[in-house]
Chain A
Amino acid sequence: MSKKVTITIDGREIEAHEGEKVLWVALDNSIFIPNLCALKEKEHPSGSCRLCYVQVEGRPEPVTACTLAAKEGLSVQTRSPQVDRLVKSAFELLLSNHRLGCGRCPRRKSCALLKIARERGLKMRLSRLSALELDVEIDESPETFAFDRSRCLLCGRCVWICQEVARVGALGFTNRGITRRVGTFREVSLAQSPCTECGLCVEACPSGALYFKEKSDDK
């Protein structure tokens, strides 16, 4: 990467590579910005979870930090009333399509949603929206891990990893709208798909959708 620039996050001056996305600059400097769908290695951020909003000086509306490139003199605030409102709404939208019951979730200690809720003082409960009806549908066919779609947030991290890093291509997005899901070719179980059980998707999953059977947070 190219030349160094200085940007300001929450009043702190930080050195960054020009063009580097502000989300990673912040996280690398222990400044928390909520995020789900971003992956550092991914060249084109999908910008789909809408959780990483920040306020940029000189711009009227908040922008997503995962798509915001660092340049000399850039100044951002991670919080503002506008940012908080947007994040709260995006968070509740995600929750409305996510099976709660965190007490029994195998990832309750490492869940990104819980972390965001803690950091931003958000409730793990719906106030304005009603919950979508979710079929609990767990694919336990792989030997080492399982896939619980009712906890999937459609962030797409596993899909990208499966296709671009593992180069397996077992997982992908299928269907549209409210039935959109992470699926396999013809929706066969993972064991019947080209999946090699490399486990990279499980490590990439921010919630309790993909989890190792043995290493869940209980054990």
Chain B
Amino acid sequence: MSLIEGEEELIRNGVAEALLDHDRARESLIPLLLKVQGKLGYLPALAMELIAEALQIPAVDVYGLATFYNRFRLNPPGKHQIQVCMGTACYMVGGDIALDCFERRLEIGEDETTPDREFSLERVACVGCCTMAPVVVVDELVEGHVTPTRVDGILLSFGREIPKSAEKTEQEGENSP
């Protein structure tokens, strides 16, 4: 993910600040990453490199830890955050189809953010309203019974135009078994 204007400075300052009163032992890596993520909203590559340097450990170890725990995110949260439920109930009735639709429409994968940082996409476990399955949570708002058409509707409500040609061919595709 490329940085936006002024972000590099933000990252450098954020990490420097977090390091200020933090001890440099390897064991302090998790709290440090949490702190930096708290400041920046995610863990940019540059931040991981700066942290590795400060703690004198290989950058791959910082990355390894950040990819081990779900708690850490490597991509910036989008302006609109889309969480597709993949709990048992939602999965059974096509949660994966909803996820797939978002992936195709936004041209990003799971845990990614669109280059304009408008949308980020995540999968979550049961959000507690299985009767409305498949469920998608969009910026805290729960959307139930999310069909592919509803996916387009949600995106449209944020001003994302759906390419006409794509709409046509895909809808045909959906109808065929």
CA distance A193 to B62 in the complex (A): 14
The proximity string for B residues 110-152 relative to A, scoring 1 for CB distances below 8 Å and 0 otherwise, is: 0000000000000000000000000000000000000000000
CA distance A176 to B67 in the complex (A): 7
Question: By the criterion CB–CB under 8 Å, are B68 and A185 in contact?
Answer: no
Task: Given A185-B48, A186-B45, decide whether A169 and B64 contact each other with a Cβ distance below 8 A.
Answer: no
Sorted from nearest, which 10 A-B pairs have the closest CB atoms? Answer: A169-B58, A172-B60, A185-B59, A185-B60, A174-B64, A172-B64, A176-B68, A175-B67, A185-B63, A174-B67
Question: By the criterion CB–CB under 8 Å, are B61 and A186 in contact?
Answer: no
Question: By the criterion CB–CB under 8 Å, are B67 and A171 in contact?
Answer: no
The proximity string for A residues 116-148 relative to B, scoring 1 for CB distances below 8 Å and 0 otherwise, is: 000000000000000000000000000000000
A29 contacts the other chain (CB 8 A)? no
Residue in A closest to B68 when the chains form the complex, CB atoms: A176
Residue in A closest to B61 when the chains form the complex, CB atoms: A172
8 further A-B pairs in the complex, CB-CB below 8 A; given A172-B58, A185-B45, A193-B60: A169-B57, A174-B60, A174-B63, A175-B64, A175-B67, A175-B68, A176-B68, A185-B60
13 intermolecular pairs with C-beta atoms under 8 Å apart: A169-B60, A170-B58, A170-B60, A171-B60, A174-B60, A174-B63, A174-B67, A175-B68, A176-B69, A183-B63, A185-B58, A185-B63, A194-B58
The proximity string for B residues 43-79 relative to A, scoring 1 for CB distances below 8 Å and 0 otherwise, is: 0010011000000011111111001110000000000
A residues near B (Cβ < 8 Å) are 163, 168-176, 183-186, 193-194
CB distance from A142 to the nearest CB of B (A): 16
CB distance from A194 to the nearest CB of B (A): 8
CA distance A193 to B64 in the complex (A): 14
CB distance from B125 to the nearest CB of A (A): 14
Task: Given A185-B48, A186-B45, decide whether A169 and B61 contact each other with a Cβ distance below 8 A.
Answer: yes
Residue in A closest to B62 when the chains form the complex, CB atoms: A185
Question: By the criterion CB–CB under 8 Å, are B68 and A172 in contact?
Answer: no
Q: Which residues of B contact A171 (CB under 8 A)?
A: 60
Q: Which of B45, B58, B63 contacts A163 (CB 8 A)?
A: B58
CB distance from B100 to the nearest CB of A (A): 19
Indicate the member of B45, B58, B61, B62 with the most A CB atoms within 10 Å.
B58
Q: Which residues of A contact B67 (CB under 8 A)?
A: 174-176
Indicate the member of A171, A175, A176, A186 with the most B CB atoms within 10 Å.
A186
CB distance from B169 to the nearest CB of A (A): 28
Q: Which residues of A contact B57 (CB under 8 A)?
A: 169
Q: Which residues of A contact B68 (CB under 8 A)?
A: 174-176
CB distance from A207 to the nearest CB of B (A): 21
CB distance from B26 to the nearest CB of A (A): 12
Residue in A closest to B56 when the chains form the complex, CB atoms: A169
CA distance A174 to B61 in the complex (A): 8
CB distance from B65 to the nearest CB of A (A): 9
Q: Which residues of A contact B49 (CB under 8 A)?
A: 185
CA distance A169 to B63 in the complex (A): 12
